[in-house]
């Protein structure tokens, strides 16, 4: 299969060029080809000077210092040894020159994500690239950090670097780029000056048609369902501190926050896989930290985990057996096939084959299986943690619509998402999480984007 | 490491095995100044030439099949049980000692001997199972060490505190006639062979067609997803290890009740280790493991004939099997140790 097919693209020095497209459209492959990490079968990439690439997932060595990461394999030497003083000075000069403040001696593992990104950027800048490729650079940045990040990138462009930003966030494309190229199914389908287009037009070009509308929100009488008082939990490095909130039956509560601010601990505490302190009262009964995941499932609490490939699916199994997972006992072996057909039909899983191996399905179809089996079990509370991560717009709209329908039917939904647009589109109430604490609460009518963005960044 | 990982390279494994058997085997034979054609000819002929030789091949098949099936159950649950040798020895010891110590009449004798072996093997498998479930102890180290414990413990017991009348040196007393397995077709083959085949079919059914098998495979193939789906990983590990050990222990009991008619310290020439290769070559699928057992059983029984008739030392077979184990299991053991 070809990930990228017959693409022509030209980057100009001094310009921020946005490359947009759905997951699987070939953006990242194109960036990798331009960088030289992936070989193209045909065609050529020509660049004047060095090409730099900043990855979506940082490729830093956590246990090394900033200067060691920035100068990895290009360390200044004195005889056989590394000239540490010169190295430190070089990084200091580099960060001063680009206005990217960072301590050269800091251990990378101790740095917050925003600073790690600077390190990642400095590493590429040290090579003095004439072309800089940025793959989803703002995925883990707060709204305020995003603004300052693009200020830096804009400065770079003014100094004569050609910049390509691969992204799926259309608001950033409109706000910060000069030119935008849209890819779909491995091909370039449109190219505009950003000033001559709009987010809506770009979205239509990405999807290849109208963006599907979400299900309508019915007005439902809500009722108490989950009460959380003083919940503190820890799961791996994720820490939740003293959270108090409520999820009512018949409402979607969105938890807005930047990745890594305690969301995993929250989700895992509700799933029964992380220890917690505090009070969790669900439908009148007290949940205990010693509860097993099975007891949570039996009460009707269903979690759609963040990492579908490891936490939700058995990739080597077929669709049928994966649909049964979580209900393997209550359903009974004889009903696995019927349950699978139901989910396939209601969620438009492709291919519509219960015997297809899940690993071979696209991310969107895998996620449809996870969401489908969760909602098919008539849950009382759905905890959806990044339910549309990395899936195409059509599949995402379907998943969001089904969550709204579950809410209309009287389920309580806790939607934990890093995508503000997703929360604004679906939630009845918005809670803001930062540094493991709940720092704000907004009704649907009173949503204040700027205020929420500031709270997410930890500015109370 | 997940069980799915253990099952990935099935085809490549078979190629590796064939290259090792015929490639390395040929080189070893040439070094012994024997034409590989003559050598392998003698091996095949020694394994399948006469009724008695076929029976001996199937006896070796049986002795490998039990521990290989046990290993497969543990591996499918994501547990790298390399303690089948110890579990088999413990089963054999319990069968031999109890069978001689408490002779039961008639129809009860054989079931008791086999049950004793199954139970002892099960307990020996449960120990690392508990250690894993309770303390997250790595089962590779635990089972490997328990092999040594089992072999030395049984040697100590039969030469010391539990020495029985009628025994000389390092063995238990003889089993009464009633506790011995009946032979088939007037050969060395006993119905333990049939039992092992039936067990393979039953295990295949359990793995593929029961909720228990579903949960066991889920725990092995995707432990994190299984845990979140309400599957108790600790309990699954304990049951899988106990069952795994029980099957290997039953195998030990059938060797005692079928061939030796007593327990002695030479019970197993490493069946529990060879069975790791058998299980992996059989892709951890009980039915393919039957096929793999026949192939390895042939190597075991044909090796002796090869030495006698072609003058190739039968250690060539040990060499080949050892290389197969290193090639198939070594990489996986390393991966498993790294992942914990």
List per-block mean pLDDT (blocks of 10 residues) for chain A, which spans 460 residues.
Answer: 67 87 75 72 69 80 91 88 91 86 88 81 87 82 78 87 86 90 85 88 85 84 90 89 93 91 93 92 91 92 91 93 92 90 89 89 86 91 90 85 93 92 92 91 88 80
What's the pLDDT at B1? Answer: 46
User: Would residue A87 count as lying in a domain?
Assistant: yes
Q: What is the pLDDT of residue A340?
A: 92
Listed residues A161, A181, A207: the one ending a domain: A207
Would an 8 Å CB–CB cutoff place A420 in contact with chain B?
Answer: no
Domain CATH for A154: 3.40.50.300
C-alpha distance from B211 to closest chain A C-alpha (Å): 7
- B297–chain A nearest CA distance, Å: 32
User: How much is the pTM?
Assistant: 0.81
Q: What is the pLDDT of residue A213?
A: 83
Domain assignment of residue A281, yes or no? yes
Greater confidence, B161 or B68? B68
Residues A272 and A388 in one domain: yes
Domain range for A25 is 16-207
Q: Does one domain contain both A182 and A324?
A: no
Q: Is residue A218 in some structural domain?
A: no
Q: Considering only CB atoms, which chain A residues are within 8 Å of B228?
A: 271, 273, 293, 303, 305, 311-312, 326
Q: Do A201 and A233 share a domain, yes or no?
A: no
Residue A108 domain flag: yes
Asked if the structure places residue A173 within a domain, the reply is yes
| Predicted pLDDT at B71 | 95
Residue A229 included in any domain: yes
**Least reliable range by pLDDT among A149-163, B65-79, B214-228, B312-326:** B312-326
pLDDT at A385: 94
CB-CB under 8 Å, B228 with A271: yes
Give the residue with greater pLDDT, B259 vs A439.
A439
Chain-centroid distance, C-alpha A202: 20
Q: A143 and A196 in one domain? A: yes
Q: Which of residues 268-307 of A touch B (CB under 8 A)?
A: 271, 273, 292-294, 297-298, 303, 305
pLDDT for the residue A4: 67
CB contact under 8 A, B229 and A311: no
A 321-350 residues inside an 8 A Cβ radius of B: 321, 324-326, 328-329, 332-333
Q: Tell me, what's the pLDDT at A245?
A: 94
**A165 with A118, same domain?**
yes
Q: Are residue A196 and residue A323 in the same domain, yes or no? A: no
| Tally of domains in chain A | 2
The highest-confidence range among A347-351, B56-60, B195-199, B298-302, by mean pLDDT, is B195-199
Same domain, A251 and A352: yes
- Asked if residue A247 and residue A189 are part of one domain, the reply reads no
Note whether residue A162 is domain-resident: yes
Q: Which of A184-193, A314-323, B114-123, B195-204 has the lowest mean pLDDT?
A: A184-193
In the predicted structure, residue B314 carries a pLDDT above the cut 80: no
How confident is the model over B254-265, as a mean pLDDT?
86
Task: Flag whether A436 is in a domain.
Answer: yes
- Which residues does chain A have within 8 Å of residue B210's beta carbon, measured at their own beta carbons? 333
Is A136 in the same domain as A51?
A: yes
Question: Is B305's pLDDT higher than 90?
Answer: no
A129 and A231: one domain?
A: no
Looking at the fold, whether A178 and A68 belong to one and the same domain comes out as yes
Share of chain B above pLDDT 90, in %: 40
For residue B6, the model assigns a pLDDT of 58
Residues A200 and A252 in one domain: no
């Amino acid at each position: 299969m070809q990930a990228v097919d017959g693409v022509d693209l030209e980057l100009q020095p001094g310009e921020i060029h946005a490359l947009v497209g759905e997951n699987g459209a070939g953006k990242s492959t194109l960036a990798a080809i331009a960088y030289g990490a992936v070989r193209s079968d045909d065609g050529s990439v020509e660049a004047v000077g060095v090409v730099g690439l900043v990855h979506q997932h940082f490729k830093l060595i956590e246990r090394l210092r900033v200067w060691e990461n920035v100068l990895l394999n290009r360390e200044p030497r004195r005889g056989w040894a590394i000239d540490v003083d010169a190295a430190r000075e070089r990084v200091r000069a580099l960060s001063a020159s680009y206005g990217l403040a960072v301590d050269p001696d800091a251990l990378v593992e101790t740095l917050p994500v925003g600073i790690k990104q600077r390190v990642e950027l400095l590493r590429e800048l040290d090579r003095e690239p004439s072309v800089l490729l940025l793959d989803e650079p703002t995925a883990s940045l707060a709204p305020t950090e995003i603004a300052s990040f693009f200020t830096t990138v804009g400065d770079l462009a003014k100094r004569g670097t050609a910049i390509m930003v691969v992204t799926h966030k259309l608001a950033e494309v409109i706000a910060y780029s000069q030119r935008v190229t849209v890819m779909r199914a491995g091909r370039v389908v449109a190219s505009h000056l950003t000033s001559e287009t709009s987010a809506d037009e770009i979205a239509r070009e990405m999807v290849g048609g109208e963006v599907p509308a979400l299900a309508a929100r019915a007005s439902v009488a809500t009722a108490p369902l989950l009460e959380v008082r003083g919940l503190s939990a820890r799961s791996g490095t994720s820490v939740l501190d003293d959270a108090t909130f409520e999820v009512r039956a018949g409402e979607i509560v969105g938890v807005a926050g930047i990745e890594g601010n305690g969301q995993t601990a929250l989700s895992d505490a509700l799933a029964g896989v992380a220890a917690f302190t505090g009070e969790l009262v669900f439908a009148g009964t007290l949940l205990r930290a010693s509860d097993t995941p099975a007891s949570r499932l039996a009460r009707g609490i269903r979690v759609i985990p963040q990492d579908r490939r490891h936490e939700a699916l058995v990739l080597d199994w077929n669709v049928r057996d994966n649909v049964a997972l979580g209900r393997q006992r209550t359903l009974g072996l004889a009903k696995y096939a019927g349950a699978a057909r139901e989910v396939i039909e209601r969620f438009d899983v492709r291919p519509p084959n219960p015997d297809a191996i899940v690993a071979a399905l696209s991310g969107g179809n895998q996620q449809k299986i996870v969401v489908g089996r969760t909602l098919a079990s008539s849950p009382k509370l759905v905890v959806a943690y990044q339910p549309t991560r990395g899936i195409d717009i059509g599949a995402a709209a379907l998943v969001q619509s089904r969550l709204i329908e579950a809410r209309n039917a009287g389920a309580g939904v806790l939607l934990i998402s890093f995508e503000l647009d997703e929360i604004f589109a679906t939630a009845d109430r918005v809670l803001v999480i930062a540094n493991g604490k709940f720092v704000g609460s907004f009704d649907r009518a009173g949503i204040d984007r700027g205020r929420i963005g500031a709270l997410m960044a930890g500015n109370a | 490491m997940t069980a799915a990982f253990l099952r990935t390279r099935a085809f490549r494994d078979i190629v590796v095995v064939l290259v090792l058997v015929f490639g390395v085997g040929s080189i070893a034979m040439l070094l012994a100044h024997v034409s590989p054609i003559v050598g392998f000819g003698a091996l095949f002929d020694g394994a399948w030439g006469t009724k008695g030789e076929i029976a001996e091949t199937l006896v070796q098949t049986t002795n490998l099949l039990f521990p290989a099936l046990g290993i497969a159950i543990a591996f499918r649950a994501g547990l790298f049980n390399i303690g089948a040798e110890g579990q088999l020895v413990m089963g054999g010891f319990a069968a031999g000692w109890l069978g001689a110590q408490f002779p039961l009449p008639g129809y009860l004798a054989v079931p008791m001997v086999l049950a004793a072996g199954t139970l002892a093997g099960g307990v020996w498998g449960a120990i690392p199972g508990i250690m894993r479930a309770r303390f997250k102890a790595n089962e590779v180290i635990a089972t490997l060490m328990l092999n040594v414990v089992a072999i030395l413990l049984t040697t100590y017991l039969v030469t010391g505190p539990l020495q029985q009348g009628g025994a000389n040196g390092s063995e238990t007393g003889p089993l009464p006639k009633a506790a011995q397995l009946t032979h088939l077709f007037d050969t060395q083959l006993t119905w333990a062979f049939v039992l092992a085949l039936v067990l393979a079919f039953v295990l295949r059914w359990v793995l593929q067609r029961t909720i228990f098998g579903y949960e066991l495979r889920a725990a092995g193939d995707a432990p994190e997803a299984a845990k979140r789906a309400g599957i108790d990983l600790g309990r699954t590990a304990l049951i899988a290890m106990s069952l795994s050990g029980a099957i290997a222990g039953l195998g030990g009991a059938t060797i005692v009740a079928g061939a030796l008619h007593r327990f002695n310290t030479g019970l197993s020439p490493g069946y529990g280790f060879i069975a790791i290769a058998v299980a992996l070559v059989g892709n951890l699928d009980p039915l393919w493991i039957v096929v793999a057992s026949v192939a390895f059983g042939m190597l075991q029984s044909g090796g002796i004939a090869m030495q006698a008739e072609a003058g190739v030392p039968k250690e060539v077979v040990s060499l080949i099997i050892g290389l197969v184990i290193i090639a198939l299991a070594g990489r996986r053991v390393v991966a498993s140790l790294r992942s914990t």
